[in-house]
Amino acid sequence: MPDLTFESHGVVALLSSDKADLLCAAAAMLPPGFRAVEGNPIVRFGLDSPGAITVDGKVVRRTKDRRAAVLDLASIVRRHVAEHAPSDVFVHAGVVAVGDCGIVVPGPSHSGKTALVAELVARGATYYSDEYAVVDAEGMIHPFAKPLTVRSRTGDGLAETIHVDAERLATRPIRCGAIVIAHYREGATWQPSARPCGEGAFALLKNTVSARRRPVDAMRTAAALARHAVVLAGERGEACEASSWLLARLDMTVRSE
């Protein structure tokens, strides 16, 4: 059975499949920056042609759609890396940059952060991630630019990929300059208020994947990111309004597509 041993953020894992082309498709979706290695994996992921996704031999999901299966496996792998990375701290958040200012949008799945990230990138911000803020021990946020995907509006549960120009992809770590706590509500008007840094840190901690496993690092990271950041919170409606507001306030020249 074809397989690939890889390393991502300190996690060594094995990916296997019963079909070589399926393995290739799955490998193409491994976490950004992964590298093939030789070594003992701490976890084994599998994807077979009938559509079963396994983790350490246990079936965790089944789907007959090949593309959906590859995307699901990719998400499961990223989540595992996020939880088990020994050094970096993963915060469930979208991240973009405006100049030297990193903008972190914490939030769980379905909170609308991807839509806001997509709008910010379309208007000139640099794309870091729509899923995780990856923070090192020095408090720097690293790119984790998986394909920018939004849920299909056709209601079929699949994802649509949004193209991001190469010049908009982040290539270097950045400091957190702003934390945007944006709750989506249809029809809402974006009128955020400035909040204390403690509120920003609390929101980050709530969305830190490994908070229970590594509480010391999680607390330290949340506090470090928030201490020097502007924290904004509010309800937002359409992402275009909020993104325009944010870029204008951060003195970024708005460049609409």
Partner 1 sequence: MRLDRPISRTEGLLTEEVDGELLAYDWGTNTAWRLNSTAAIVWRSCDGTRTLEDLLEVLEAELGSGVDEDVILIALDELVEHGMIESGYERRDEVSVRLSRRRFFKGATAATVAVAVPVVYSMAVPSAAAAASYPK
Q: Which residues bind partner 1 (CB under 8 A)?
A: 61, 71-72, 75-76, 78-79, 82-83, 90, 92, 108-109, 131, 149, 151, 159, 196-199, 201-202, 205-213, 215-216, 218-220, 222-223, 226-227
The CB-of-181 to partner 1 minimum distance in angstroms stands at 13
d(CA 242, CA 125): 13
The CB-of-244 to partner 1 minimum distance in angstroms stands at 26
For partner 1, which is the closer residue by CB, 140 or 197? 197
**Which tokens in the block code for residue 217?**
């690092």
For partner 1, which is the closer residue by CB, 199 or 238? 199
100, amino acid identity: D
Q: How far from 108 is each of 39, 114, 222, 256, CA to CA, in Å?
A: 33, 10, 16, 28
For partner 1, which is the closer residue by CB, 228 or 249? 228
For partner 1, which is the closer residue by CB, 142 or 214? 214
d(CA 232, CA 194): 5
The CB-of-58 to partner 1 minimum distance in angstroms stands at 14
The CB-of-186 to partner 1 minimum distance in angstroms stands at 20
Q: Which of 8, 57, 50, 44 is nearest to 29 (CA)?
A: 8
Non-local (6+) Cβ contacts of 214 within 8 A are: 89
